[in-house]
Structure 1
């Protein structure tokens, strides 16, 4: 059905991998199918906040995320065999990085988890809702 899928994950919540990865693997049916797993390290936001962080904070956060993602993918690889898994770490706004990465990797679809909505999510809009609204690709949202 799809050749290239993007699975954005929150490394602080393993259910995002456990729930979305098997679905993405099942949808990746092309002979050279790939599942790209993305984690986004959020930026510090306002410059005034960033000024209180160590100079190398962003690099250390990205390096730590790369290590955590590599370990998580190794542990979960069996959920996706024989589909190829590739990990990616970016920095920035979560939903914007998901959309940008899906476009840059020429993905056919995005498979992501979303938690049960709280009242604040109806007012502000969670990342999943923003991705659904703005992505060019098909988006499957799995309840986590």
Structure 2
């Protein structure tokens, strides 16, 4: 059992949470806290950002926050203690920062087999998190 689990997800890709969420809920038991993290990608380029509306980032973060709240209401049982968090930036770095911030004692995250290239939490992100996380990381395929 863990007290605080961080679960990074992409709500638009059920494969990032459909197996990981039940396992994380089981691992926190009755008294643990589940922290669900949604990440708004860093655009990575000032040139790209210059073509977007000035408030694009602010709206994207708010939209993610609202979507995570709805996700938690629909997917997490009422008895579970859950908090949602929105991160912004590079995926693996944001996951590691969030884990530290919430004092996670474990990270549960989905990853696809190496031969697929289509989900948000791709193998390279999981690999970086596993290599750099100071706490256990459960990678669910």
The alignment's TM-score, normalised by the length of structure 1, stands at 0.88
Could you tell me which runs of 5 or more consecutive residues in structure 1 were left unpaired when the two chains were aligned. none
Partner of 1:12: 12
Once the 2 structures are TM-superposed, how far is the Cα of residue 32 of structure 1 from its aligned partner?
3.3
Could you tell me which runs of 5 or more consecutive residues in structure 2 were left unpaired when the two chains were aligned. none
Q: CA RMSD in A?
A: 1.9
Consecutive aligned runs of 4 or more in structure 1 exceeding 3 Å deviation: none
The answer to whether the Cα contact below 8 Å between 2:114 and 2:123 also exists between their aligned partners in 1 is no
Alpha-carbon distance between aligned partners in 2 of 1:84 and 1:53, rounded to the nearest angstrom = 37
Alpha-carbon distance between aligned partners in 2 of 1:83 and 1:77, rounded to the nearest angstrom = 7
Deviation digits for residues 77-125 of structure 1 (CA, Å, limit 9, x no counterpart): 22xx5330110111111110100000011110000000121387xxx96
Partner of 1:141: 139
Partner of 1:97: 94
Specify the SS of the correspondent of 2:138. Answer: strand
Partner of 1:117: 114
Alpha-carbon distance between aligned partners in 1 of 2:6 and 2:32, rounded to the nearest angstrom = 11
The alignment's TM-score, normalised by the length of structure 2, stands at 0.90
**Aligned CA distance change for structure 1 residues 2 and 125 (closer, same or farther; 3 Å):** closer
Between structures 1 and 2, the one with greater helix share: 1
Alpha-carbon distance between aligned partners in 2 of 1:93 and 1:141, rounded to the nearest angstrom = 19
The answer to whether the Cα contact below 8 Å between 2:95 and 2:129 also exists between their aligned partners in 1 is yes
Alpha-carbon distance between aligned partners in 2 of 1:18 and 1:105, rounded to the nearest angstrom = 22
Superposition map of 1:68-79 within 5 A? 68-78=67-77
